[in-house]
Structure 1
Amino acid sequence: MKKIPLFLVAMALVSPVAANAQDAEDNRLQGPHIGIEAVRDSNEASQATSTREASRKGYGGRVHAGYDAVLGNVVLVGAEIGVGLGGKTIDQASLVTPGRFKVDPGLSYDATGRIGITPTDGLAFYGRAGYRWLKTEQSVTGQTTGNFSRKETEKGFTYGGGMEFAATEYLSLRAEFNHTKYSDDLRQNKMSIGASIRF
């Protein structure tokens, strides 16, 4: 017997919710919003051509602004831009002893979209995807040759997911996880909790 496609199963589960959901215009997660987040960053970096990786965890923040809409009473779609801190400096031995290789993340910028379900008014589960830019200062010091220091803007695809609920008519709370691969040599994980003011 052929397996039923996953999306048919999802539709079967969602349909009863959609049939009993209230009008979309009453959903408290709809419309424009601005907010702030507390972030736990985990950065992983390696020097080009090296198989050695170093990681560094730290705390930062992000501010965001966006717009959400509820379609068919149950599907949440939205777009968002954000600016945040990049995390802690990564410091490891360079390819030539006794040199050091460092990556110091600065500000990050992102533009993402999200899509999910709102099983009830004021509650959403969603996936997020988009693009992120990260300003960095990278350097190699202490080698006899090949030392450098330069500023670069890394960029890459970011994706993740989370949940959000409306605490009041004008305030919503969220928790998210996002992963960004800037290159084979630099990756970043972000866990965040945040709050948004809705208009």
Structure 2
Amino acid sequence: MTPGGGVAPQGRARPSGRRIAWTVVRVVGSVTVLGTLYYLMPLDHSSTATTVTILLVGLAGFTALLAGQVRSILRSVTPGLRAVEALATGIPFFLLLFAGTYVALAALSPGSFGEPLSHTDGLYFTVTVFATVGFGDITAKNETARLVVTVQMLADLVVLGLAVKIIVGAVQRGWQRKAGPDSPEAGDEER
């Protein structure tokens, strides 16, 4: 029974308060660790090769993280909650990856941006690009910086479109798997 007196759809168990609390703890812990590592890394002392390697390995890591999260959602007892956790940890990882790249790029080539970038400035710039706000207070000034920003904008579209679609699809398949092939809900999921 649901709080309103109705019956919850078959296969769509409501997560317990304990499961929700544990998910919140994992998300907060993951984001805290990521943010701490970002601020502790000496990004402003990186070489060009290190910066490019960090970005490429980080993007590959993000892709692997997303694939692992999808598998986890498919097997989860509460796929919706697991999907929220996947997005709440994956997007900060993605944003911090580009923020680190911008900080390193600004240190390698001081003319890359309209001003020097601290870790906080790099994060701020990344979020403004991700949110498509573009206040204009920090701007890419040379071709390399513009190319990296362009890569982020394209990757943002992938994250906002494809990654979210994949995760939502995994939730639907997880619910369908739990509902079983003979339930009316299983047929509804494929429409």
TM-score by structure 1 length?
0.25
> Whose strand fraction is larger, Structure 1's or Structure 2's?
1
Query: Which has the bigger relative contact order, CA under 8 A and spacing at least 6?
Result: 2
TM-score by structure 2 length?
0.26
> Whose helix fraction is larger, Structure 1's or Structure 2's?
2
